[in-house]
Amino acid sequence: MERDCFGICLDRALLSKNRRATFTHVRAYQTTDSLKPEFEQDVLVSFASPQMSGSEVLKELLQSKDLMWRAGYVCPSQD
């Protein structure tokens, strides 16, 4: 799993493989200035949840593709 300064990078592939996993401290960030290089852009928290399953995050991610999705921790499914 890839991490950056905001946490675990969540994308469609990762969430599809971890639908039953639990993700904590889930956040979605919106960039404020797309003309700047990525490392200079300001971000705003657009969505936050203390805990979500991989399938719940995937559903939200697919509805709002322009956001950067991150999580603090992942608890893998035991099956």
Task: Tell me the per-residue pLDDT of 27-75, one tens digit each, with 9 for 90 and over.
Answer: 999 987 666 666 667 889 999 999 999 999 999 999 987 899 999 999 9
Which residues constitute the domain of residue 51? Answer: 3-75
Q: What are phi and psi of 13, to 5 degrees?
A: -65, -50
Q: Is the pLDDT of residue 1 over 90?
A: no
Q: What is the pTM of this model?
A: 0.85
Task: Check residue 71 and give its pLDDT.
Answer: 97
| Degrees to nearest 5, angle at CA 52 with 2 and 64 | 70
Distance between CA atoms of residues 3 and 71, nearest Å: 9
CA 9 to chain centre: 6
Bridge partners (DSSP) of residue 48 are: 27
CB 6 within 8 A of CB 42: no
Work out how many domains the chain is built from and give that number.
1
Residue 56 CB neighbours (<10 A): 16
